[in-house]
Structure 1
């Protein structure tokens, strides 16, 4: 094979590897990855240096038609993906939507399993319909506290662990997950100490109440911390297995062996945590067994500094979601207990029905971000530097199609939820009574709020894709303040159930602010893309 043949063969290999390169350095790095040395270029390819060889290949590829410079993955996608237009205005791929919407629903399967268990057994992994009002207050407060404490660590681990995992730094990924899981537990213990100290000084709740609250909070927070690694590891299917097995164990203990509900819950949650840790150990054993020489450990402080906006976003998001409940419970003085807040059944039922709307829209977000990520790289390769305005406008159009899909899905879901609540085969068939007026009112306002929250979170996910997070954190902080202010004033001035409008208005503010930031994000999309990669 002469130098010309070797050159042509090498050029073909570069195209197969990177497609249309972003610059000369991409080709240079690719040649180095092939093991080509500077001293080999003269004899093998007829060029004086590796730099000259890279420049020749780069200029050749840039001059080629776009359809001839697709890499192997792009060619495979072109062969296997057939466009199936949904309608004239969206022009999306029906198969992509079906795939990713289905994936989004599949990832919610653990939650659907809990809903199924509650409907048919009045019992799930951490809830029980026969709790009295004081027990319900302690357990639900524990659940809320667990979500808030773990939320920041889940976001942080998901972001940084994904980065390490994608770069095949498996030992660093494992160390990060284990160290931040421990940090989450330590933060929880500090929070528990603060709660007990505050309760001791102010005499807010009985000690037995606090023990139940902290017990459920600890178990659920630990469960969420051990679930978090499955997302960056792309093993989310394992969560369905562990939660299903743990729910079965808890049900068997409670229904067959008549174990006390608290004990069966704690044993079931402990089983889920154990299963999660076993899966994580197995996944890392497979990967790190291949690369035993990797001992470098990431600096915990450095990781936190680089990702702290994600940490506070994750924590604040759960504060926003649960704030209206706390405001409503603390404003309802119809109970005979001298507690600062107490579980309000009708309000909670309304919000539980409303959150079904959020679950229905999760798949839309999954699809939208998958399509955005896929097209981002494709369009970047096909546009020159002077076309950056066209580049941004293309994705604005794509974004509008995603929002249209979100609202269509929301309308369809609204009809389904309405039928579920009003038809004899739905809520009435299970509970033997019609939905209370308060619950109906709260579910309607809450559902609208969750539509806007889903919209705002979709805006955030677009920006998260290219590591733009601070505008979203500021927007969420403002929305949380609006949620509290409006909900507090309305619930104290009129009735407790009006606190739901704090959540609704806060979600609208969150959507408006993130939409504004997203518009600016699209205007500078080429810059954000280059900065991220």
Structure 2
């Protein structure tokens, strides 16, 4: 047998040959994206290549040298293969897309605006009433806060996992996972209700009649919040808004026309709205499933893995609503001998009307920023899809710098929107304060305490809206850890500052806890955004 002569490889000859290109195709057929040269060597050997054959065919010393050449050629293919870029939206299409995004964000806050409007005109809404006694107002407020704290984590879990399956058109799986969390949310409400019953029985926190009203509002409002999440996920926000309007109309029918007591009217309406909301959620899912392509149905994720995946989002839901309501709880549990709004504290938590009124009207400041945030996030994610295919792999640093600069502009737009929104809401309340005095014989905000809380919370919510924009962007990158690491210290600051100021100064100063917490949350999320965009390539990869 003649000896085989080895000679230095001519890369230009071997790489350009038809045989070499055919071999690349065969390798890619076996493994679309080989990990490294050693995997290619293993594939070659499995195809019958040895050192002698490699030398004869391409003039290389052995299979490993051939694998090295193939690896370099495949890497060049990956880097330089042209992509088909998505079409950029321009002109009317861009304007319509922006308007739809803004409207989607705005519609999310529409039920809140309708409730405020109902209070101004009818003097009651689905779960509030202007002339309600402080005892009943306390029951409704405590039930509402408990409902948000209980199901806040479940709503985030539903949204996260539900959207995950909806984006893949797995409507059946989306329905199953959604109602899985809804069932557990309702079970949690029942368990907490039983525990609260025994705690109240032992410590006598509230009279039995008040406690039963708290539990009824708590349970049915929890069901409403769960159904709201499903409506939002299925893009049926207007349906839920119509449910709120119908519920208020039902309260009007029973309370004004049939003279049924307001609390009973509201409980009946809330019950019917919650049941209808759940029924509609199931109906829309079943309807969506009819569009699902038939094939191999995906398996439900193992419970342990699913819990691990959604736990950061669950924690966010719990922390977020705890942050929003902690100043109320702290203020309403403050007992001062010089407090002229209430001379004594008959129960552990006692509703303070002026404080609540100030917060409720200030919440309106979030409507416009929520719409703008939706536009900003949609545009960012659409541009990122294009940019990933526009930049070469070696240009990641350039892309990172580009989007960090773009974020500064987003931050400026969000800040300007928050300021403008705050000015609009302040002047609107100032104007309607006088009009309401003529219409109802008293102003919207009845005293200096209400005005004080309104102004400070207006600033707090305006600042918070910027932090929420940051949070939505980080959620889009599947980075809830950044958000929670900002929200936890913000919540702690809210509790500490609010508690100290309410005990040292006045119960209304609890709103400063909300303000400082909002500032801290926004600052920390902004720093996290800058850090994340500095390594945008990594976080894009991890999110994918």
- The TM-score with structure 1 as length reference comes to 0.82
For the Cα contact (< 8 Å) 1:176–1:298, is it kept in 2? no
Cα distance per residue 1:245-287 (max 9 Å; x no partner): 2322232222222222222212212222233233222222223
Residue 71 (structure 2) pairs with residue 70 (structure 1):
no
Number of residue pairs the alignment of both structures matches: 466
For the Cα contact (< 8 Å) 1:133–1:343, is it kept in 2? yes
For the Cα contact (< 8 Å) 1:171–1:297, is it kept in 2? no
Residue 253 (structure 2) pairs with residue 238 (structure 1):
no
For the Cα contact (< 8 Å) 2:244–2:273, is it kept in 1? yes
Picking from 486, 490, 497, the partner of 2:501 is 490
Map 1:109-128 onto structure 2 (within 5 A): 109-128=110-129
CA distance in 1, matches of 2:315, 2:285: 28
Residue 347 (structure 2) pairs with residue 346 (structure 1):
no
How far apart are residue 185 of structure 1 and its match? Answer: 0.9
CA distance in 2, matches of 1:80, 1:158: 31
CA distance in 2, matches of 1:119, 1:409: 26
1:252 maps to 253
1:323 maps to 326
CA distance in 1, matches of 2:402, 2:96: 21
Stretch deviating more after TM superposition (387-396 or 515-524): 387-396
Cα distance per residue 1:194-220 (max 9 Å; x no partner): 222222222211111111111101010
Q: Secondary structure at the match of 2:344?
A: coil
Cα distance per residue 1:357-393 (max 9 Å; x no partner): 1233211211111111111111111112222222122
1:87 maps to none
Which ranges of 4 or more aligned residues in structure 1 deviate by more than 6 Å? none
CA distance in 2, matches of 1:311, 1:63: 41
Tell me which structure has the larger Cα radius of gyration: 2
How far apart are residue 95 of structure 1 and its match? Answer: 5.6
For the Cα contact (< 8 Å) 1:171–1:296, is it kept in 2? no
CA distance in 1, matches of 2:131, 2:220: 21
1:47 maps to none
1:192 maps to 193
Q: Secondary structure at the match of 1:231?
A: helix
2:152 maps to 151
How far apart are residue 427 of structure 1 and its match? Answer: 4.6
2:388 maps to 380
CA distance in 2, matches of 1:203, 1:263: 24
Residue 449 (structure 2) pairs with residue 438 (structure 1):
yes
1:310 maps to 313
1:454 maps to 465
CA distance in 1, matches of 2:400, 2:441: 54
Q: Secondary structure at the match of 1:331?
A: coil
How far apart are residue 295 of structure 1 and its match? Answer: 7.5
CA distance in 1, matches of 2:409, 2:439: 38
CA distance in 1, matches of 2:355, 2:281: 38
Task: List alignment gaps of at least 5 residues for structure 1.
Answer: 1-22, 27-51, 83-93
Picking from 407, 421, 434, the partner of 2:429 is 421
Task: List alignment gaps of at least 5 residues for structure 2.
Answer: 1-30, 35-69, 337-341
CA distance in 2, matches of 1:226, 1:106: 16
For the Cα contact (< 8 Å) 1:482–1:502, is it kept in 2? yes
CA distance in 2, matches of 1:322, 1:357: 17
CA distance in 2, matches of 1:427, 1:483: 33
Change (3 A) 1:432 1:391: farther
For the Cα contact (< 8 Å) 1:392–1:525, is it kept in 2? yes
